[in-house]
Structure 1
Amino acid sequence: MSVEVLDGATIVNFVEDEEAFSGSIRDRFDNLDADHDGLLSYSEMLKELQTLRVFETHYGIDVKMDPDELSRIYDSLFVQFDHDSNGAVDLEEFKAETKQMMLAMATGLGFLPVQMVLEKDSFLKKAVERESTKLAA
C-alpha cells in the first residue's frame, strides 16, 4: 500500500490510454482466471470482489453483514459484469465493466486532487504510476 495523490483526470487519462489500460485489464483478468479457460466464473470473480471488502467495512471498521444480503450483492455485481448472461465473464465484458467503474470513480473524484491509500497492484495505483511516468518523460 502507498499514499498517492490523484484526481479524476488521472483515471480518465489511464482509461483512455488503450495500451496501458488494456494491458492492466489483461494482467488482472489472467490472474483471476484460475483455471485458464479464458472466462471468469462466479467463484473466480467472487474471490476478487471479496478481497475488496467494500461491503464488510465502514470507514475501515469491520461490519457484520447478513450473509444472505451479502450474497445477493455479490450476485448482482457478477450479473453487472456478465453482459450476455451466459454465466461467465469474458475479457471484453471484464474490460467494459471495469472501464465504466473507473470512469464513474473519475466523475466522483472530480478534478480536485485527493490523497488516497492505494493497493500495490490496483487499477488506481497503475493510473498514478502511468501519470508519474508520463510527467517524468
Structure 2
Amino acid sequence: MSVAFIDSHMVEKFVENSQAFDKCIEERFNMLDMNQDGVLSRDELQNDANDSSFVELALQSKEEVDSLYDVLFEKFDTEKKGGLNRNEFGLLMKEVMLAKAHGFGETPVCVIFQEDSLLRRVV
C-alpha cells in the first residue's frame, strides 16, 4: 500500500495521456483475462472486484452487485456478446476514472492505494 494526495486535475491528466493510460488498461485487461480469449466475462470482472480494492462492493448485497454488473454490461458490451473486449473495457475504465476525478474535485485528497490500483498510476 502507498499513500498520496491527488486531485481531479491529476486524474484527468493521466486519463488524457492516452499512451500511459492505454498501457495501464492493457496490463489490467491482460491480468483479468484469465482464459486469454480477448474478452472479459462477468466472472473475470467479478473476480477482480473481489479483491480488497473494491471494498465498496463488499458492502453491497448480491442483488445490488448483480444489478451493477447488468448496468455495466448493458452500457459497455456494445457488441452484446456477454463480455467486454479491450476497447469496451478501456471505455469503462475511462468513465470510472473520470467519475473518481469528479468526486475528488479540485482540493487534493489523501488516498491509500492498493498495489494494483489504477489510481496509483496517477501519482
> Shorter-chain-normalised TM-score: which range?
0.7 to 0.9
The ranges of structure 1 where at least 4 consecutive aligned residues each deviate by more than 2 angstroms after the TM superposition are: 65-81
Deviation at 1:18, TM superposition (A): 1.0
The reply on whether 1:106 has 2:101 as its aligned counterpart is yes
Q: Which residue of 2 aligns with 1:95?
A: 90
Does the Cα contact within 8 Å between 2:49 and 2:57 map onto a contact in 1? Answer: no
TM-score (norm 2): 0.88
Does the Cα contact within 8 Å between 1:22 and 1:95 map onto a contact in 2? Answer: yes
Deviation at 1:53, TM superposition (A): 2.8
Give the structure with higher Rg (CA). 1
Deviation at 1:74, TM superposition (A): 3.4
Q: Which residue of 1 aligns with 2:10?
A: 10
Q: Structure 1 pair 102/66, CA: closer, same or farther in 2 (3 Å)?
A: closer
Does the Cα contact within 8 Å between 2:42 and 2:69 map onto a contact in 1? Answer: no
Q: Which residue of 1 aligns with 2:25?
A: 25
Q: Is there any run of 5+ residues in structure 1 with no aligned partner, and where?
A: 58-64, 129-137
Q: CA RMSD in A?
A: 1.6
Q: Structure 1 pair 68/108, CA: closer, same or farther in 2 (3 Å)?
A: closer
Q: Is there any run of 5+ residues in structure 2 with no aligned partner, and where?
A: none
Deviation at 1:78, TM superposition (A): 3.7
Does the Cα contact within 8 Å between 2:6 and 2:108 map onto a contact in 1? Answer: yes
Between the aligned partners of 1:108 and 1:77, the Cα distance in structure 2 is 19
TM-score (norm 1): 0.79
Q: Give the aligned length.
A: 121
Does the Cα contact within 8 Å between 2:3 and 2:112 map onto a contact in 1? Answer: yes
Q: Which residue of 2 aligns with 1:116?
A: 111
Deviation at 1:16, TM superposition (A): 0.7
